[in-house]
Amino acid sequence: MSAHTIRLSVDTIRKYASILIVFLNTFILLASSIMFSAHTPTAEIISRHSRS
- Please give the tally of structural domains in the chain: 1
pTM of the model: 0.47
Model confidence at 16: pLDDT above 70: yes
pLDDT tens digit sequence for 25-52? 999 999 888 877 776 666 666 677 777 6
Domain encompassing residue 27: 3-51
pLDDT for res 39: 65
DSSP 39: -
| Amino acid at residue number 34 | I
CA distances 25 to 5, 7, 8, 20, 40, Å, are 30, 27, 26, 9, 22
Query: What gap in Å lies between CA 45 and CA 49, rounded to an integer?
Result: 6
SS3 6: helix
